[in-house]
Amino acid sequence: MDIQLNQNEFQETIANNNAIAIDFYADWCGPCQTLLPTVHKLADEFQGEVTVRKVNVDTNQELAAKFGVRSIPTIIYLHNGKEVNRHNGLLSEGMLKGHLNQLKNL
């Protein structure tokens, strides 16, 4: 499953999903690459409950600016289109899973 999200798909994704986690990353970022397999795994695991997507900050600078992303990786959690939480830096699978469980239960 492709979980990449760009500027054109963003509004549609927000409109059609109540709970969304967006991983802002870059290909050159070591911690981002470390987190990538976990993001993909949890995107599959939470399918139908939380929409997990990733946004490349190099090719989607407008989205990164809109959310005030200043460091990567940054994961932003949205509920009904509004930011409810954010985490900067590397997360363990257990921590990320906990945040996704909180989001799906809002």
Whether a cis peptide bond, with omega within 30° of 0, leads into 31 is no
Whether 32 is catalytic is: yes
Q: Looking at the DSSP assignment, which residues form a beta bridge with residue 22?
A: 53, 76
Active-site entry in 29, 36, 84, 90:
29
Q: Name the percent of the chain lying above pLDDT 90.
A: 85
> Which domains, from first to last, does the chain contain?
7-104 (3.40.30.10)
Q: Per-residue pLDDT tens for 45-76?
A: 999 999 999 999 999 999 999 999 999 999 99
Q: What is the pTM of this model?
A: 0.94
User: Which string of b and e fits 61-97 if b means at least 16 CB within 10 Å?
Assistant: eebbeebebeebbbbbbbbeeeeeebbeeebeeeebb
Could you say which DSSP state residue 92 is in?
A: -
Mean pLDDT of the residues in the chain: 94
Active-site entry in 5, 19, 21, 32:
32
pLDDT at 2 over 80: no
